[in-house]
Structure formats: C-alpha cells, structure tokens
Amino acid sequence: MLLVHIGLFLAAWFASLLTRWDFQPDAPMVAMFRATVVWVVVVKTIVFLLHDQFRWRFGRLSFADLGRLAFTTTLATLTLVAVDVVREAVGVLPGLGQRLSRSVMVIDWAATMLLIGGLRALPRTIREVFRPWITSGDVRSALIVGATETGEILARNLAAHHAPSYIVVGFLDDNILLGGSRIAGLRVLGRVDDARKVLRQRPVDEILVTAGELPRSAFRRLLSDAAEFGVNVKVIPSMGELLASGGVVASPNVLRPVEIRDLLRREPVVLDDSAIEGIVRDRVVLVTGGGGSIGSEICRQVLRYRPRRLVVVERAENALFDAENGLVSLRTGVPMAFVLADILDESRIRNVFDTERPEVVFHAAAHKHVAMLEQNPGEAITNNCFGTRLLVRLAEEYAVGRFVAISTDKAVKPSSVMGCSKLLAERYVQAFAATARTTFVVVRFGNVLGSNGSVVPKFQEQILRGGPVTVTDPDVERFFMTIPEAAQLVIQATAIGKGGEIFLLDMGPAVKIVDLARDMISLSGCDEEEIGIEFTGLQPGEKLAEELISAEEQRVQTLHPKVCYVFGPKAVLEEIEDQFDRLHALPGEPPDVIRESLQRIVPEYRPAMPPRPRGTGGAVPGDRLSGDITERPARGG
C-alpha cells in the first residue's frame, strides 16, 4: 500500500506540473519536478501515514471514506504550502528560483483525490455497474418499492452480491418530489399505483418491498398487479426482524416471500434496550406458560438480555419439551430450569418460588380459547382467576421485584366467560398493586397472529384441504399483533411500569377476518372462487368487533411511541377479594348457572349470545376456530 501511494503521489505531482505548463513540458518544468518531487512525496506520505490512509480495501469506498480521504488530502496540501513558505523564507528555492505556484498545489490536490479515490472506487464501480451484465449465473431484474435510504442500501447491496445476481431497474415511490429523479444511479419510475404501467413497459422478475413500507390496501393492490404480470413480490425484513435473526441488512439471502403479517402493515416494535437490560440482566426470570406461543417467545426475548437464570413453568409436558429443545438450541449460555407444574398447585408453585427465588415474573399461563371456555366456564374461572391470584400472592410473599400479567382485549366489556375471567384477573392485579412492594402491571393483548389455535393456521389447513375457508361473519373484525411484538410489549412494560398500569400496543386499525381469509387465499397462489369462503355464524361469546379500552378508561401515551397505558376507576382489594370468594362455588356448577352468576358478580359481563350446542345452527365441522383468534394452550400453559 505504501508503494502504491508513493507511485500515485509521484503521478499526481507530475500531472499537476504538466497541467500548469499547458501540457508543453520544457527544461524549467523538469527542473522544478526534480527539485520538489522528493520533499512533496515525503510530506504527503507522512500526512497520509499519520491519518491511517494506507489501510483500506479495494471496492469498499463509502461517503465516510471519501470524506476522510478529502480531509487528509487537504491537510497534506496545506502542509505542502507551509513547507514551501518556510523554504522561501530560508532561501532554499526550487530550480526556477521562485516560490511554487499555488495553482500547482490546487491541481495536485484534485489529482490526488482523483487517482486515489478513483482507484479505491474502481472495483465497486465494476461490481455494481457492469457485473450483472457479464455474469454467467442466474440474473433477475428487480423493482424496489421505496426510494428511501433503506431502498438505496438495498439497491447497492443487491448489485454487489453474486448469488443470486440482480439488475435493479428502478424505484417506485409515492413521494411526488422524487418523481423522475435518480437514487443510487437508478431512476424513480413513478408512484406505487403506477406499478401496472411500469411492469407493462419493463421486464421485471421480482418486486422488493421493505416490511412496513406500504399500507395494507396499497400492498394488496401491488400484489394484484404483480400477479397479473407473473411477477413475484418479496419482502426485505424490517430492522427488528434482521436484528432478531442475525441477518445482513439488505442482503439477497434475507429476502423472503410475502407473509400475512406484511399485509397488516405491522411496523416493528423497537425496544428500549437500556431500560430492559437494567431490569432483566443478572436477575432470575420466571415465565409461566412458557411452552405456549407467547410464553416461549418471551423466553427467547428475555435471553437476549442475559438474565442470571431463566425458569420456565409449563403444565403441558409436550409443550415444555419443545420449549426446552428450542431454548437450549439458542446456546446463550444462560442457566435454565424447565419446571413441569400446574399454576393451581399451590405447594408445587410455592416450592418453585422458594427454590428459584425469581426477581421478575411473566405470567403467560392461561386458558384463552373463547368457544371452548363457553362450554367449560368453570375451568376459565379456576385457571385464569385463581391461578393469577395465587401467583400474585406468592410474588409479594417472596419479594419479586416485578410481575407482569398478560390479559386480552376481550376483557373490555366482556361478552365471553374467557373475557370475564381475564377482567377479574386484571382487577385483582391492579387492586393488589396499590399496596404491594412488588411492581405489578398488566399487558392487554389484541389477537396474536399465528399463535397456537389462532385463525391463521386454521385458514392454512383449510386452504391445503382445498377449502372452503370458514369465517364466522362477514363483518367480524379484530386487532392483530405478531408473536414477537406481543412478547416485546410484555418485556417493555416490565421496564417502564410503575405499578398498577394496563399497557397496550399500538396495533393500528382493526382488520376484517374475511379480508384476512382472502389475503391468505391469494398468498397461497389459489383463487377465491376455487377455494371459497363460507360464513358459519358467530360462536358463543364472540363479538363482531373488539375494543381496546372501555368507556371508563382513559389512554395515556408513554415515552415509548408504540406503547400506552390506560387507567380507570381504582379497584379496591377488599371488594375484589369478595368477588373471588363468590367465585369459589361456581366451578362445579352447570355452565348456564356459572354464566348467570358471573353476570351478578361482574356487571360489565354481557353474554353476546346464548350458547348453542355443537353441530347446530348451520355450523360446519371445524367452525369452532374460524372466528376465534386467541391462543388455546392447556391449563397452566
């Protein structure tokens, strides 16, 4: 590198003198070159050496590298001027007997930048501009949606990768100020709505969209336009996904097919890592229901922050076995304990608290399947209410620092036994938090996309069978969140909760289930007429639309842009304990008696419709999951 730079310094200095002499070299110019070349090269070499400019790799010139090169070259030129002034002052002049022309210095600066910067950029230029046309491998043409910085990075990185090779034909962007402009040398060809026109004019193999870039309606139109021309649509994962998976930003290897979550425009939840790390790091963390979709994801997220020990409690043996295999395979080095236990078994759970001494508890164990619990309401009360109360009391007794209970939007104006049981659990946690040493908070979820027993796997199964896809009602709609978002919300609430709050995630607008079904049919490559959608009627306990807050509650934004909390009338522990005492006699009663009693105990509970036996009212086999988008783990899981 030193020899290469010395050669470039020589060439730059000779070129600057030659330019100053109008490319007509004569004896005075040659004398000037001989008298100055040594000290000029020495000065420039020393300056470049002091600024670590001899350590770089061909083809890796960035704007930051170019800026550092410009600074170093400018400093070298100013040093040459200073040395020349000193030489003149002490009478040591070049061959012409006069001071060097300052124009020679300026020309030398430009020549140095051109030669060194150009040499560094040459491999990258060849790789990005010419390689796709001369490669013999698979070459695909791509259209990028979003002329943002992310889109620009994506375009450059795609051009730099050899397998597969991409030729990016341009961008689509709804920013009217970018129309016709060039980003990374590529033209912005129009708005997203112009996709059909662009695809008609240019051969495109794939359209690449950054996750969360487009609203759901625009994404669906883009998918329709792409399908018409036989073009694949792929997604570049969001930064949150890349960090979680360890992927390389904007690499072809992380491009994935469009998934149902992309059509929900679910932007990633960015965690406040500093706050969370202070709560979790070097502490014993206990997760109940750790074998369920949410519980296991909470465990994975917690491991990122290096707890001293992770304790996973789960009643279902198979679920605990799967959770152990999945968490151990992460090889985090964090000691873990996997406890097969029911949260209703007081002696067993007390022993776990006594042995492990948890400092942070995430309570994810619950019964959550709406239609199933309408037929078994006693189990909902036993597990969701009494299980939560036991854990709350033990957390306070064993001086747990923070306790997070997971609830659901179905607890707002509950129309189901499951929602009613969750409302009672919420109130118990809030009432207990008022005088407790432990910090107790509640996290209220929407519907978790892709969790166990949710509508997405059910639709996938029905599509694979050839249909029909069963939906309860054409107007039923729900709020959605992804499994990682749900887990991250729980962990974030742990860090920012002061005690007694109910936290919510910004989930955007509610989504109609029938639209979700149509999207899944489309993404599967099938036609809606071929698969078919059948409406079966609302299930017992279901509402057409869920709500996130009640009329008595108020929403307050936290410092985290995606998280807020609600507060309403304060629950009094004595009153809640009295309600729980009245619940004790219910689990052994018939379902109708339990529902009637719950209406007297919880005035907000209003059954959406009378329960109906299975197989009546026009229901088709398998319809019990078609409108229920909540998780269905076993008791305690």
88 and 202 belong to one structural domain: no
Q: Looking at the domain assignment, is residue 426 inside a domain?
A: yes
Catalytic one among 410, 458, 543, 562? Answer: 410
119 and 190 belong to one structural domain: no
200 and 97 belong to one structural domain: no
Q: Looking at the domain assignment, is residue 474 inside a domain?
A: no
Q: Looking at the domain assignment, is residue 321 inside a domain?
A: yes
Distance CA 489, CA 444 (A): 9
570 as an active site residue: the answer is no
Angle at 278 between CA 272 and CA 283, to 5 degrees: 130
409 and 283 belong to one structural domain: yes
Interhelix angle 387-397/417-433, nearest 10 degrees:
20
Domain count, the chain: 3
The reply to whether the predicted model has a pTM over 0.75 is: no
Q: Which domain holds residue 304?
A: 275-446+480-507+547-614
Distance CA 248, CA 230 (A): 28
Per-position DSSP letters for 204-242, written without gaps between them: -SEEEEETTSS-HHHHHHHHHHHHHTT-EEEEEPPHHHH
361 and 492 belong to one structural domain: yes
pLDDT tens track for 610-626: 444 434 333 333 333 33
Q: Looking at the domain assignment, is residue 609 inside a domain?
A: yes
Look at residue 271 in the predicted model and tell me its pLDDT.
60
Give the CATH number for residue 298: 3.40.50.720
| Short-list 292, 268, 275, CA closest to 492 | 275
68 and 114 belong to one structural domain: yes
578 and 487 belong to one structural domain: yes
67 and 151 belong to one structural domain: no
Sign of the dihedral defined by the CA atoms of residues 608, 609, 615, 618, in that order: negative
351 and 387 belong to one structural domain: yes
| Short-list 141, 263, 152, CA closest to 206 | 141
181 and 325 belong to one structural domain: no
Distance CA 568, CA 177 (A): 46
Structure tokens at 236: 């570049």
Contact 443, 503 (CB under 8 A): yes
Using the 3D structure, point to which of 232, 258, 284 is the last residue of a domain. 258
- Pick out the chain residues at pLDDT < 70: 56-63, 91-99, 123-138, 159-164, 212, 237-273, 450-453, 525, 608-637
Using the 3D structure, point to which of 227, 258, 289 is the last residue of a domain. 258
Q: Looking at the domain assignment, is residue 466 inside a domain?
A: no
107 and 144 belong to one structural domain: no
Look at residue 339 in the predicted model and tell me its pLDDT.
94
Q: Looking at the domain assignment, is residue 302 inside a domain?
A: yes
Q: Looking at the domain assignment, is residue 458 inside a domain?
A: no
pLDDT tens track for 396-449: 999 999 999 999 888 888 989 999 999 999 999 999 998 899 999 999 877 777
Using the 3D structure, point to which of 108, 131, 154 is the last residue of a domain. 131
- How many angstroms from the chain centroid is the CA of residue 342? 33
564 and 497 belong to one structural domain: yes
Q: Looking at the domain assignment, is residue 569 inside a domain?
A: yes
Look at residue 623 in the predicted model and tell me its pLDDT.
38
Sign of the dihedral defined by the CA atoms of residues 321, 323, 326, 327, in that order: negative
